[in-house]
Structures are given as C-alpha cells and as structure tokens.
C-alpha cells in the first residue's frame, strides 16, 4: 500500500536504510550527509532496526569496518560526502576488489580546497575508477528508490560489487519533497534475504582474505574483476524494471527526455536534470528542438545506451559539475565524447558549472542550448570548453 | 591459570610453518604463543607489515584460521566491523558459534599510522584482542624509525651520522596510552616469557571488552644481531628493564617479571649493532640519558604497582 510522506533527501536515505534493516552500519557524520547518520541513529535508539551501528572515529575507519563486517558475512550500508569520501579513497578500491556488496549514500559536495560544504561532483569523480558502481539521483524520490534498488544490484550474484548512491549535497540532501514510500514488507521482499558469499565467520572453512598479490597474479585478478562490470548494466536495468512493477516508478541506466526528434541535447548527472527538463519544455514550446540525457549510472559507463540516445543530434553539450584540473575536459565530457568516437562527427562541447554549490539557473541552461544550436549551424568556436555562471 | 607446555604443544597451530618471515623473526613466535591461548576459534585481522606480507603470498597462506588483511592503518577498524557483524548476527539468531577476534599489527601499524583506529576501537569497547608485535621500527620497508624506536637507535631514517647519533627522540608508551582508555586488560610482555605471553593472552581473550597485548618481538635484521639470538635478545630487553613486563587488569598494575639483578642498558646496547655508536666515549652522556630514562620508567612502574597493591589491601580491609 503506497504511502506519501514528506522527506529531506538525507532522511529518505535513512528511511530506506531502516526498511532494508542492514546487519551493520558503520558511519561518520559529515556535512551535508550528517542527517543520514543522525536519523539512522534514532531508528537504532528506538529499536526499530536490528542493525549494529558502529559510530566510528573517521571515514577511513567507517569503510574499513564496513569491509570487515561485510567480509564477516553481514549486510552493510553507510553514507558520506566529500572529504569523507576522499579519506576513504584507499579503502574504496579494497572494497570493490574484495567484491563487497556494500551500499553507500554519497551526498555530493565539493572537495577542499578551499573548504566548501556545497554541491559539486568532484568527490564522486575522484572515486570514478575505484570499482564502485555509481548511480546518480535526480530528486528525493530518486534517492529513496535508488537506495533500495542499490541493495539488490550490489548483492546480485553476477555483480557482488559496492554501489554509491550519489545525490547533490544540499540541493536535494536538504530539500524536503513529497516521496512515495513502500511498506517495510515490500522493501524486504524486494531485496530478499542476504546471502553472504564465503563469510569469514564460517570458521569451519577458514580462508585468507586480502593476501599479498604480486606480479605473478595481480594482473589476472584485475582482468577478472574488469569482466564483472559487463554484467552490471543488465542487472541495474532488470532491478529498475522490477522496481517499476512494484512501485510504478521505472528506472534505467539513463533517462532520455524529449531526445527522439531533438536536434541538440545536453548530457548531465544529478539534480540539474530536473531544472534542465523544465528548460527543455519551455524551449520546446518556443519551437526549439532540444532534449536532455540524464545519466543515472555513471559507472560502469553505459556506452550503447548513451550513444543510442544522442548520436543523431547535430550538437551535444556535456555539463560537468567538476573541473578536472589540467585535463582536456572533465570526466563526463571525455567519457561521452570517447563513446561517440566513430559514431558521429558532430561537435561535443563541455560546460563546466556549479562548482562549490554555485546555482545553475534556467536562463543559463537555455544559454547552453542556444550555444549548441549556434554551434550546430556555424561550427565550433574556440576550444569548445565553457564555464557557466562564473565571474571571469 | 596454569600453563602446561605439554598441552600447548598438542594444540593445532593457527599460524603454520612454511611462511617466508626471516629466520629468527620474533613476530611469528609471539603470534603462535597468543593463538595457543585461545579456547575458542579465532578470527584474525592483520595490518600491512612483515607478518602479513610474508604469511599470505598468493596463492599460499600460512594461516589455518580465518584471516583478513585490507590495509595498513586499519587493523582495529577492521576488527570493529567483524565484531559488530558477529554481535548483530548473533543477536538476530543468524549465527550461533562463539569466536574471538584478534587484531594484529606491528609497531608501525599500531603506534603510528594505526593509532587513531586503535584508539577508536578501544573507546567503542569492541570485544577483541589487539596484539602489537613490536620490533621497534618499520622493518618491512627496511628499518625506518617509528615512534616505538628507542632513543639512540640507528635506523635508515635516523641514521647515525657525524652530526646526529641515531634517533634523538624517546619512544612512545603504547601500553600506557591504551590502558588510559580504561580498557579491562592491557599487558606488556615479550616472547622470552612464553608462559607469560600465553597467560596474558588467555586473560586478554577472556576479558569483557577490548584488550591490548604489546609484545616485544626482536628483529635480527633491524636490531642487527645473529638470528639465533632472538630469544636471548628478548630476555635481555626484559632483564635490563628496557622492556618491563607487566599487566594492567581493570586499572590495577602488576609487574609480571622482576629481574633479580637489573642489568645495565649498556648490555642491551652492546648486543645490537644498531646501538654500537652509543658505547663510544663521546656518546657517554647519551648512554647516561638512556639509562636514566629506563630507571625512571621502571621506578614509576613499581610505584604504580605499590599504589595498586595498597589500594587493593585498603579495600579488602574495609
């Protein structure tokens, strides 16, 4: 029986966590994800979950404890942001290499320095190659739905990988929205019971986890691990579809909006999709053939879905909420353009925006669409990399 | 708690032979003694270091017990997670065995890079035993100084040169730092006292809450002595009171070994090439300083023991 409640983004994570009822949560508070830990502590204090909550002394220890608990044989979840994610960096790679199905909420926030507590995607981008599946959410409903789906994705026998549920810090972590929720029973049935693979607590079958892996084997182990990521897209799609049947809200690896007959389009991640959809609608009303591709699964990068959605466009703009210093274009841009190589020769432009929580306005997004239309007609001017909303 | 050698020698080994630690390494001696003390299955977590790299070279393992290594600074945090999972699953009726959790680290992984994680785990009160096998430097990377390295030691990052006589700082007192967390049990011992190690480990495993064992495990490569001298080196560390053996049980200090005749620190220095320069006449003042520090710490420890004893007696008289 569907119920509708008012929730902040972080509270939506905590509520989903409560419904999943993981065996262990090890977490450390950090703005703007603090409420995840705080709200969940209330559930623990009131006996609403069976979870052993470990209030660790740092994010490095949070992920270390999550890995230990997961290896022991527990279902494990956590949450963090920005500097916390950066402090975990070493352990992120170990979690994925040990094939730990840990689910972590990440309220995206700018990395220092200078210190800033507001949204951009530099934290998640720093973890792009760490072997975690990265799912981005557009709104609070998306956070709630994705957190639940992430558990089933992570624990799928063909996946067994950690998942980050990324959502824009403050923009949606602190935005109160109307959220349709499932019942506890529906959530628990959807995710199913946890079946640990080779748990360390199985004392009758002792095993050594995390051995020294030298030049004679490490390469093969990485090669094997790389293969697993090929399974992920189908599982995320299947889980999104099954969730759709349960809730009426369908999810895929990308969200294409009015792209079919579009001439130019924007590709982006996260909450800006909501704003951009409104811009698409208003420009469509004025006769502009514009569309949007919001990428839900950034890692592993769903190349075919992305190419299929945008290769017919006459000009493509990729919006990155992260400045990859010294690189030629930011991560989403380089990934999209590389995916399009050999499929189309149209210009692909990079728009850097919203660093450190700088607002992105509808007018600015409209301006990007106008730049794409002009470029489609007249060709690329300059290096094709634009900074939006910054005082130059 | 009588420790019977015959019984111990019949117990299965948790850390088996065939590993690639150096001849004369003190670490596996310490760990085997500790594992023998457990009366329940033990699950081990290990910080990066000599012990870990030399016992788990893929596709081999010397561990006959469940073992996990993930990184350098997080042995105690990993143990926290294991123990939390155990508690959660048992509480939910999903797991019925009873096990102990043993976190291992060298002095680098414990005194230095892992101290925060250890402190956090001690404060949170996880039910686990942390064993530091202290060989007084980063031996795995080639004998660099740690905060466990003694004053005057020649290491590759505190080399004895014409302007500096090895390490110029004193060592950190890990045992006291851990005990200051108010944990139920902390002990400092060394592999020469196998009976004491087993006894302390037994108490540590049985303690309700976190316990620390700081075990001096001499290293022939880093201390620079012949590899058949390891146990003698541990004995000398104990007999010079450079490494006093004592335990702190629920706050009560008790010295486990009092040498009949306290040997001079000079003897300990003379046995190890890392201190050779400390015996030169021009370094006489440094030798004196080192001796004074050992004397001061030993006197302090005896005072703590006497105070504890007086307190216990006074409580009993009431």
B61-115 confidence digits (pLDDT tens): 999 999 999 999 999 999 999 999 999 999 999 999 999 999 999 999 999 999 9
Quote the pLDDT of residue A226: 98
Q: Spell out which residues of chain A touch residue B71, defining contact as CB-CB under 8 Å.
A: 64, 90-91, 94
A261, burial (CB in 10 Å: exposed 0-12, middle 13-18, buried 19+): exposed
Q: Rounded to the nearest 5°, which phi and psi values hold at A209?
A: -105, 135
Quote the pLDDT of residue A2: 73
- Higher local confidence (pLDDT), A215 or B1: A215
CA proximity to B282, closest of B169, B157, B168, B163: B163
Residue of A nearest to B41 (CA): A203
Q: Spell out which residues of chain B touch residue A94, defining contact as CB-CB under 8 Å.
A: 70-71
Q: Are A164 and A127 in contact (CB under 8 A)?
A: yes
What distance lies between CA B172 and its chain's CA centroid?
Answer: 13
For chain B, say whether A69 makes contact (Cβ under 8 Å). Answer: yes
Q: What is the DSSP string of A333-349?
A: HHHHHHHHTTT--S-EE
Cis peptide before A32 (omega within 30 of 0): yes
Q: Is the pLDDT of residue B1 over 60?
A: no
Predicted-complex ipTM score: 0.97
The Cα A376–Cα A358 span in angstroms is: 28
In tens digits, chain A (392 residues) has pLDDT values of: 579 999 999 999 999 999 999 999 999 999 999 999 999 999 999 999 999 999 999 999 999 999 999 999 999 999 999 999 999 999 999 999 999 999 999 999 999 999 999 999 999 999 999 999 999 999 999 999 999 999 999 999 999 999 999 999 999 999 999 999 999 999 999 999 999 999 999 999 999 999 999 999 999 999 999 999 999 999 999 999 999 999 999 999 999 999 999 999 999 999 999 999 999 999 999 999 999 999 999 999 999 999 999 999 999 999 999 999 999 899 999 999 999 999 999 999 999 999 999 999 999 999 999 999 999 999 999 999 999 999 99
Q: Is the pLDDT of residue B189 over 80?
A: yes
Q: Which two tokens stand for residue B271?
A: 């046995």
- Which residues are B253's β-sheet partners? B248
CA proximity to A40, closest of A58, A56, A57, A52: A52
Q: Is the pLDDT of residue B218 over 60?
A: yes
Q: Are B41 and A28 in contact (CB under 8 A)?
A: no
- Taking chain B, what is the end-to-end CA distance rounded to the nearest angstrom? 28
Q: Are A375 and A347 in contact (CB under 8 A)?
A: yes
Set out the domains of chain A in order of their start, with CATH numbers: 3-247 (3.40.50.970), 254-387 (3.40.50.920)
Q: Any idea which fold B5-317 has?
A: Rossmann fold (3.40.50)
CA proximity to B44, closest of B84, B95, B83: B83
What distance lies between CA B226 and its chain's CA centroid?
Answer: 21
- Average pLDDT score over chain B: 97
Tell if the CB–CB gap between B53 and A212 is shorter than 8 Å.
yes
Q: Which two tokens stand for residue B309?
A: 């004893």
Quote the pLDDT of residue B275: 98
Tell if the CB–CB gap between A210 and B70 is shorter than 8 Å.
yes
Q: Are A315 and A336 in contact (CB under 8 A)?
A: no
Number of helices (H), then strands (E), belonging to chain B: the values are 12, 8
Quote the pLDDT of residue A268: 98
Q: A325: which DSSP letter?
A: T
The Cα B109–Cα B121 span in angstroms is: 14
Q: Which two tokens stand for residue B109?
A: 């992984």
What is the residue extent of each domain of chain B? 5-317
Quote the pLDDT of residue A299: 98
Interface test with A, best of B81, B92, B127, B210 (most A CBs within 10 A): B81
Give tens-digit pLDDT for B124-182: 999 999 999 999 999 999 999 999 999 999 999 999 999 999 999 999 999 999 999 99
A140's CB contacts (< 8 A; 6+ apart) are A7, A8, A9, A12, A172, A175, A176, A177, A179
Q: Please give the C-alpha separations between residue A291 and each of A260, A282, B245, in angstroms, as whole numbers.
A: 8, 11, 74
Q: Is the pLDDT of residue B2 over 80?
A: no
Tell if the CB–CB gap between A217 and B59 is shorter than 8 Å.
yes
Interface test with A, best of B56, B85, B102 (most A CBs within 10 A): B85
For chain B, say whether A44 makes contact (Cβ under 8 Å). Answer: no
Tell if the CB–CB gap between A68 and B81 is shorter than 8 Å.
yes
Quote the pLDDT of residue A1: 54
Query: Which of A:181-240 have CB within 8 Å of B?
Result: 200-203, 206-214, 217
CA proximity to A165, closest of A225, A120, A193, A124: A124
Q: Are A207 and A200 in contact (CB under 8 A)?
A: yes
Quote the pLDDT of residue B3: 76
Q: Are A299 and A230 in contact (CB under 8 A)?
A: no
Nearest residue, CB atoms, B84 vs list A26, A202, A210: A26
Pairing mode, strands B100-106 and B129-134: parallel
The Cα A285–Cα A25 span in angstroms is: 48
Helix H or strand E segment including B33: helix B27-36
For chain B, say whether A74 makes contact (Cβ under 8 Å). Answer: yes
Nearest residue, CB atoms, A68 vs list B57, B79, B92: B79
Tell if the CB–CB gap between A202 and B66 is shorter than 8 Å.
yes
**Global confidence as pTM:** 0.98
Quote the pLDDT of residue A63: 98
Tell if the CB–CB gap between B80 and A217 is shorter than 8 Å.
no
Query: Which of A:105-124 have CB within 8 Å of B?
Result: none
């Amino acid at each position: 029986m569907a119920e509708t409640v008012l929730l902040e983004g972080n509270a939506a994570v905590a509520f989903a966590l409560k419904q999943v009822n993981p065996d262990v949560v090890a977490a450390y508070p950090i703005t703007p994800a603090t409420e995840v830990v705080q709200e969940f502590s209330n559930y623990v204090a009131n006996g609403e979950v069976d979870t052993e909550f470990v209030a660790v002394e740092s994010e490095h220890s949070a992920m270390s404890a999550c890995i230990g608990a997961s290896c022991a044989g527990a279902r494990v979840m956590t949450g963090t942001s920005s500097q916390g994610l950066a402090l975990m960096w070493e352990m992120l790679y170990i979690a994925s290499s040990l094939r730990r199905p840990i689910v972590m909420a990440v309220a995206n926030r700018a990395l220092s320095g200078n210190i800033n507590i507001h949204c951009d995607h530099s934290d998640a981008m720093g973890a792009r190659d760490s072997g975690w599946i990265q799912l981005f959410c557009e709104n609070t409903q998306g956070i709630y739905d994705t957190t639940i789906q992430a558990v089933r994705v992570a624990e799928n026998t063909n996946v067994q990988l950690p998942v980050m549920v990324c959502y824009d810090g403050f923009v949606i972590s602190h935005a109160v929205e109307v959220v349709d929720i499932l019942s506890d029973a529906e959530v628990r049935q959807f995710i199913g019971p946890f079946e640990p693979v080779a748990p360390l607590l199985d004392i009758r079958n002792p095993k050594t986890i995390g051995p020294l892996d030298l030049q004679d084997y490490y390469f093969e182990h990485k090669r094997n691990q790389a293969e697993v990521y090929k399974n992920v897209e189908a599982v995320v799609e299947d889980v999104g579809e099954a969730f759709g049947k349960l809730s009426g809200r369908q999810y895929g690896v990308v969200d294409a909006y009015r792209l079919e007959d579009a001439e130019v389009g924007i590709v982006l991640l996260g909450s800006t999709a909501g704003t951009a959809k409104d811009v698409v609608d208003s420009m469509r009303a004025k006769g502009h053939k514009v569309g949007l591709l919001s990428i839900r699964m950034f890692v592993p990068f769903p190349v075919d879905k992305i190419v299929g959605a945008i290769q017919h466009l006459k000009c493509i703009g990729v919006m990155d909420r992260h400045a990859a210093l010294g690189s030629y274009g930011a991560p989403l841009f380089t990934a999209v353009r590389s995916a399009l190589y050999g499929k189309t020769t149209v210009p692909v432009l990079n728009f850097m925006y919203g660093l450190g929580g700088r607002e992105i306005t509808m007018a600015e997004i409209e301006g990007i669409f106008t730049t794409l239309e002009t470029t489609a007609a007249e060709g690329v001017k300059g290096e094709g990399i634009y900074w939006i909303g910054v005082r130059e | 708690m009588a420790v019977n050698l015959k019984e111990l020698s019949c117990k299965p080994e948790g850390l088996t032979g065939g590993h690639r630690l150096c001849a004369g390494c003190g670490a596996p001696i310490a760990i085997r003694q500790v594992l023998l003390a457990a009366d329940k299955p033990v699950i081990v977590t290990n910080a990066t270091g000599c012990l870990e790299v030399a016992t788990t070279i893929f596709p081999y393992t010397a561990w006959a017990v469940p073992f996990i290594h993930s990184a350098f600074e997080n042995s105690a945090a990993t143990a926290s997670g294991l123990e939390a999972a155990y508690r959660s699953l048992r509480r939910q009726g999903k797991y019925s065995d009873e096990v102990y959790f043993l976190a291992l680290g060298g002095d680098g992984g414990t005194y230095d890079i892992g101290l925060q994680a250890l402190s956090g785990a001690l404060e949170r009160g996880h039910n686990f035993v942390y064993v530091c096998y202290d060989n007084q430097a980063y031996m795995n990377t080639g004998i660099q100084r740690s905060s466990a390295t003694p004053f005057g030691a020649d290491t590759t990052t505190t080399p004895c040169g014409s302007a500096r006589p090895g390490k110029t700082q004193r060592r950190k007192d890990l045992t006291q730092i851990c005990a200051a967390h108010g944990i139920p049990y902390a002990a400092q011992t060394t592999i020469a006292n196998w009976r004491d190690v087993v006894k302390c480990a037994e108490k540590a495993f049985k303690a309700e809450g976190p316990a620390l064992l700081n075990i001096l495990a001499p290293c022939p490569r880093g201390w620079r002595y012949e590899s058949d001298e390891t146990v003698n080196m541990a004995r000398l560390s104990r007999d010079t009171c450079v490494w006093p053996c004592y335990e702190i049980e629920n706050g009560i200090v008790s010295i486990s070994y009092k040498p009949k005749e306290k040997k001079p620190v000079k003897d300990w220095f003379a046995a190890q090439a890392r201190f050779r320069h400390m015996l030169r006449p021009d370094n006489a003042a440094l030798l004196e300083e080192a001796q004074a520090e050992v004397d001061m710490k030993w006197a302090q420890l005896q005072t703590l023991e006497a105070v504890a004893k007086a307190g216990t007696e006074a409580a009993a008289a009431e």
